[in-house]
Amino acid sequence: MPSPLPARLRRALTRRRVVAATAVTALLAGAVVWAVWPDQQNFRTESRVLTVLSGPAGAEPVALDTTFYLPDGASAGRKVPAVLLAHGFGGSKESVRADAEDLAGLGYAVLAYTARGFGRSGGQIHLDDPDHEVRDAQRLLDWLAARPEVRTDAAGDPRVGVVGGSYGGALALLLAAQDQRVDAIVPMITWHDLAGALLPESSGRSPVDGVFKKGWAGIFFGNGGSAGSGPAGLAGATGNEEGAPVSAGPPSPAPGAGPGTGPDGGPAFAADPSCGRFAPDVCAAYLRIATTGRADPEAVARLGRSSPAGVLGRIKAPTLLVQGTADTLFPLAEADANARGIAANGTPVRVAWYTGGHDGGKGPRTDSDRLKFLTAQWLDHYVRGEGDVPERSFTWSRTTGFDALDRGLVATGYRVADYPGTGGTARRSVEVTGPVQSIANPPNGNPAAISSVPFAGALSSFLSGVAGDLPGQHARFESAPLPEAVDVVGSPTVRIRAASPTGAAVLFVKLYDVNPEGAATLPDGLVAPVRLTGLPADVATAQPVTVTLPAIVRRIEAGHRLRIVVATSDQGYATPAEPTVYTVAPGGGPVTLPTVDGEPIATSAAVWRWVLVGLLAAIMVGLVVVVAVVRRRHRRHDTSVHPQYAGIPLAVRNLRKEYADGFVAVSNVDFEVYPGQVVGLLGPNGAGKTTTLRVLMGLTQPTAGEIYVFGHRLVPGSPVLSRIGALVEGPGFLPHLSGLENLKAYWRATGRPEADAHFEQALEIAGLGASVHRRTRNYSHGMRQRLAIAQAMLGLPELLVLDEPTDGLDPPQIAEMRRVLQRYATDGRAVLVSSHLLAEVEQTCTHAVVVNKGRIVASGPVEEIVGESPSVLFDVSDPQAARAVLDRLTGVRVLPDGDGGLVVDTNGTARSEVVAELVRAGVGVDRVVPRRRLEDAFLALVGENSRGSGDR
Amino acid sequence: MSGSLQSAERPGGASAAGAASGYRPSATLPFLAEFRRQASRRRTQLALGFMVLLPLIILISFQFDTGDDDDNGGGEFASLIDLATSGGLNFTLFSIFVSASFLLVVVVALFCGDTVASEASWGSLRYLLAVPVPRARLLAVKLLVALTYSALALLLLAGTALLAGTLRYGWSPLRSTVAAQIPAGEGLLRLLAVLGYLAVVLLVVAGLAFLLSVTTDAALGAVGGAVLLWILSSILDQITALGALRAFLPTHYANAWLGLLSTPVQTDGVVRGCISAICYATLFWGLAFWRFTRKDVTS
């Protein structure tokens, strides 16, 4: 076969389809590529190990693993500002890579490095010690200043911001205090006083009396000890490197860098298995605290070196403080203290809270977007020197539910012009009451209540199941249901009284939100540990103690109660080992709830709402325009009557129908149907009859030519179609309805008055009797056919078009049909019948149109067509002799066609004479059959091979 | 056939456009006529009947509760199952929850996908077009009726569940673990909002099924095709590797109605889901009209 494509496929592949399919495919492919195309990197990186001289004397070399991100286009001629990016505890320069890339994308030269004691960097962990980690960072500033691409304020003074989360955040604060070359800092989720954060005490006592936060401290210490790289992630924005035992499995130690191993490339220190990579003084302080659960003044002093608390007054770099609400390690109060301390110098400070933190991670998308925006704005103004002065407004967010789509948390952002601190701008007082209760301190703190699981704070804020107080170990004081909702933003306070036989007690005070069903929620798993001393044995004589609860952001709904729980144990804290029974009572005075009246920050949701409104409006407008255009086109539609065909029920002019695949079903059909006529459209299967009728019914668009009905041009949907009753391609009924219901349903669809339908007459014609009430699905073929004819006659249309109407009818019914049709074609009405049966047309029609292969072969009155033809069929004994005889007769012609016999055109010569001549010549004549024109025409068609022309 | 045409009237009274007397294009295939056509069908009656039956079946099933608490498969919204018996509103919510992802999709696809294709397969479509019912009008009426039945199915499901649930479990606030409980009155409004959003999301199925309905003569093909594509989209939506592309899937926001249960109401996903659904539905319906008003009806 020369053709490579099957014919079907070729036919399907018309040019239009190929073009359309190609366009759609290209669009889809483009969309996919656009969506998955990796973002263009517009910076380059340089990784190197920098060895800097550090230590108290500035003479100890330490190797720092760094990556320098340089934006494209930065050069000695086009200097760019720089950002020093510090990572969280247990992380490395890799864990801040995403943030580094973001900042480099914003046009900053970013120096990310692994702090000493972590990853591939050398040295030991001194916990952001001014002589070690902070000095390291100063040397890195020197390095930045020496880079030709980095902008400088003076020789050796780079234009630089310092960004970091947690461990890196504290470094930013300490560095800004120690080195005035720093132009701006963005410390996130970090501490104010490390001793206070690890040994909190909520009644105002010093860390020496603090309650050891052993859960977090253990993770902290274990992480540094293992020299693990920690989970990759969010450090710059959120710093979650303090190990992730819950979410990310155990930290993965670098090969050969387990506990006790020295750092790669320089095991300069003898490894102590109990200290890992911690410096000996830090390690010793930790071991003392962890062993006793109490801090001694030396340990507090050591931690104080690592805390910004004492050096805040020296910070001149504008500071953006970011702190998380879901953070049991460094709660909001840490940032609050930093903010107050720095602002006291007159240094610009801005504070933002978000719903993540050491427990909650980076928070929802809206939060991380806000923080990125704030950071970029801060750096752009104070480091790059572009953009307006950022406002000092305080922004925060509140978890408002679970995202229905990705099951993450949803937070709503709020803002208020000035930072109010953890005391809020207003206070709400709620009374809590309860009896005096005795609670037991479990020996060695076991079993202990669970208030939070590190890294699961976001969940614990919603799932009351995590927070569990043990019976007998806690006291409860409850309020009445709140009459209205309260938006708590800040630290609530409560007063309690306690008594202890030993005179001392460690208690954990918590504020629960209790819903009407009784389910209690501890916001973010935060607790306030207190160590009380000098307590009497009898609670009646005990002095009230004011406890400052951790700052929270929470809406307490109307109808909810407040519950103050005073517990003796908590899994996250070290508690006295001796079993004791304390007595606690409400301290008198209400619980105060600080509130801030903020305005919600508009999110992209508002934009989408407008998009929706716009979309609906556009669709409305589009719909109106489309309807108007269609109406207009209809109105302009030719309603004129073609004068030539005004009185003619049907005139078909040069009709041509070519299907999309190139098949020509009707090539040129041209005929009329006059009033009073029953016209037969006769042709073999596939002659184009049905296609002609389809066009006539407005089911198919003709390729060329026109059809006029009573002079009106007929197109699909022309109103003049209402004057045509049709049966095309067999009956079509709703199978579940009876015959009568079908007719009624059909007539209802025309929208015309029921009286015009003439149901009785139609039913009479159908002659279905009682069967008219049966469902049509049970009808025989003939019954359906008769019902279809009846449907075509509903409303007595002026032109009746019937396609093979006698199909399935028995002979008496066919005879009856003939009478019905002839009677119908009176009073100006006309009938068009299509058939492939010669006899049928002969019996029923007054006129006939013969079509074959899409063309008219013959047409005229049936009598004329059926009338005797001049040709005669002779059956003779000797055809050869007969042919010779006939050739001699003048005018008589033997036609080429004729199977077995001779077809002779007598051309006026009498048949008797021809027979006489043949007999005279000795030719025996068996039969003489006069032929008729219609038959001639028809047989001529049928004689040709009509197979393969397909159904037309 | 012994008919006679004695009272045959003289034809006449044709309008300027050549129409028969009493024929107006805008009066053809009245909404009620099409509504009755569809109402008489067994599949319509069965589908609507099942919408009434389903909540009752669920209600009876809950009576077999033996009290063995097993975890219902995690997820914060799984608690909807645990809370189903806490009141009429929660029962209704549960009924919607279990039927939204598949049953309602099938029902809407059935009403919208079968409407034109079944007429084509019976052969009655060409007689409607020869009435003539203008093609755009035919589609508009058929679409409106199909949407009406879809809405009716949704309302029947919710209405029966609300009625049966309230009779059995009482009239109490709407509860969920994702938010504070919502007072019964406001809960009812939330429920209506959920139904409204579901209706909007299901417009995508309606559009897809309708488009398939005008392109094929096989009713089963249109209904099945729409459901199949919906399932395909749901599966693709589970593949997070597709990233941002998933937001363009018609099913991506199908569950955003759960956000309507939280306090304050999360409208972000709902709004985006509405935008997505309306865009898709408009596209599909536009294509359906464009195709049907131009195509050769050969069935």
* A661 close to B (CB below 8 A): no
Q: Which residues pair with A874 in a beta bridge?
A: A902, A928
* A189 close to B (CB below 8 A): no
Query: Which residue does chain A place closest to B271, by CA atoms?
Result: A609
Q: Do B11 and A796 touch (CB under 8 A)?
A: yes
pLDDT(A528) > 50: yes
The beta-carbon neighbor of A608 closest among B2, B271, B297 is B271
- The answer to whether A554 and A355 are in contact (CB under 8 A) is no
- The answer to whether A403 and B259 are in contact (CB under 8 A) is yes
pLDDT at B294: 85
Q: Kindly give the pairing relationship between strand A43-54 and strand A678-682.
A: unpaired
- Which sign, positive or negative, has the C-alpha torsion A595, A598, A604, A607? positive
pLDDT at A563: 92
pLDDT at B39: 92
- The answer to whether A150 and A80 are in contact (CB under 8 A) is yes
The burial class, CB within 10 Å (0-12 / 13-18 / 19+), for A670 is: middle
| pLDDT tens per residue, range A29-43 | 887 777 666 666 788
- pTM of this structure: 0.76
* B296 close to A (CB below 8 A): yes
| pLDDT tens per residue, range A322-339 | 999 888 889 999 999 999
Where are the extended beta strands (E) located within A58-165? 60-71, 82-86, 109-113, 152-154, 157-158, 160-165
- A674 is written with which tokens? 């006059």
Q: Which residues pair with A361 in a beta bridge?
A: A357
pLDDT at A814: 83
Q: Do B18 and A711 touch (CB under 8 A)?
A: yes
Q: Which amino acid is at A769?
A: G
pLDDT(A211) > 50: yes
Q: Do B123 and A604 touch (CB under 8 A)?
A: no
CA A911 to CA A388: how far, in whole Å? 116
Please tell me which residue, A134 or A457, carries the higher pLDDT value.
A134
CA distance B59 to chain A (A): 24
Mean pLDDT in residue range A696-704? 88
Q: Do A720 and B19 touch (CB under 8 A)?
A: yes
pLDDT at A259: 37
Chain A 58-77, CB below 8 Å of chain B: which residues? none
CA A492 to CA A549: how far, in whole Å? 5
Mean pLDDT check: name the lowest of A83-92, A656-665, A690-699, A834-843.
A834-843
| pLDDT tens per residue, range A254-275 | 333 333 333 343 344 455 777 8
The beta-carbon neighbor of A515 closest among B5, B76, B180 is B180
pLDDT at A12: 59
Q: Would you place residue A253 in the very low, low, confident or very high pLDDT band (cuts 50, 70, 90)?
A: very low
CA A149 to CA A75: how far, in whole Å? 5
Q: Would you place residue A236 in the very low, low, confident or very high pLDDT band (cuts 50, 70, 90)?
A: very low
pLDDT at A84: 94
pLDDT at A922: 85
Q: Which amino acid is at A881?
A: A
pLDDT at A949: 42
Q: Do B268 and A604 touch (CB under 8 A)?
A: yes
H helices of A207-273, in order, are 214-226
The beta-carbon neighbor of B131 closest among A31, A659, A722 is A722
Q: Would you place residue A827 in the very low, low, confident or very high pLDDT band (cuts 50, 70, 90)?
A: confident
Mean pLDDT by runs of 10 across the 299 residues of chain B is 40 61 86 92 93 93 68 52 82 90 93 92 90 90 96 95 92 76 86 94 94 91 93 89 83 85 79 93 94 83
The beta-carbon neighbor of B37 closest among A716, A734, A796 is A734
ipTM: 0.87
pLDDT(A244) > 50: no
At which residue do the structure tokens 């962890």 appear?
A: A290
How many angstroms separate the Cα of A232 from the Cα of each of A46, A87, A255, B78? 20, 11, 17, 31
User: Which of A36, A399, A403 is the best mutation test for B, with the most CBs of B within 10 A?
Assistant: A403
CA A585 to CA A564: how far, in whole Å? 11
| pLDDT tens per residue, range A272-291 | 777 888 888 888 888 888 88
pLDDT(A194) > 50: yes
Chain A 567-626, CB below 8 Å of chain B: which residues? 603-605, 608-609, 611-612, 615-616, 619
End-to-end Cα spacing for chain B:
28
- The answer to whether A692 and A856 are in contact (CB under 8 A) is no
Contacting residues of A for B29, CB less than 8 Å apart: 749, 751
Mean pLDDT in residue range A705-720? 87
CA distance B22 to chain A (A): 5
| pLDDT tens per residue, range A373-413 | 999 999 999 999 888 888 888 999 888 776 666 666 778 88
* B215 close to A (CB below 8 A): no
- The answer to whether B277 and B203 are in contact (CB under 8 A) is yes
Q: Do A719 and B128 touch (CB under 8 A)?
A: no
Q: Do B7 and A761 touch (CB under 8 A)?
A: yes
pLDDT(A152) > 80: yes
pLDDT at A229: 30
Mean pLDDT (chain A) is: 83
- Running DSSP on this structure, what letter comes out for residue A403? -
- A267 is written with which tokens? 């095991």
pLDDT at A40: 67
Mean pLDDT in residue range A455-477? 64
pLDDT at A465: 43
pLDDT(A20) > 90: no
* B29 close to A (CB below 8 A): yes
At which residue do the structure tokens 């480099």 appear?
A: A104
The beta-carbon neighbor of B76 closest among A402, A700, A827 is A402
CA A886 to CA A879: how far, in whole Å? 10
CA B145 to CA B123: how far, in whole Å? 20
Q: CB under 8 Å to A301, separation ≥6 — which residues?
A: none
Mean pLDDT check: name the lowest of A603-617, A925-939, B15-29, B159-173.
A925-939
* A709 close to B (CB below 8 A): yes
CA distance B255 to chain A (A): 6
Q: Do A749 and B128 touch (CB under 8 A)?
A: yes
pLDDT at A245: 33
Question: What SS3 class is residue A380?
Answer: helix
Q: Do A641 and B30 touch (CB under 8 A)?
A: no
B222: phi then psi, degrees, rounded to nearest 5: -65, -45
| pLDDT tens per residue, range B184-217 | 888 899 999 999 999 999 999 999 999 999 998 8
Mean pLDDT in residue range A317-322? 93
Chain A 877-936, CB below 8 Å of chain B: which residues? none
Q: Would you place residue A557 in the very low, low, confident or very high pLDDT band (cuts 50, 70, 90)?
A: confident
Q: CB under 8 Å to B205, separation ≥6 — which residues?
A: B105, B108, B109, B112, B226, B227, B230
pLDDT at A592: 93
Find the helix packing angle between B184-215 and B268-292, rounded to 10°.
30
| pLDDT tens per residue, range A498-513 | 999 998 899 999 999 9
pLDDT at A455: 55
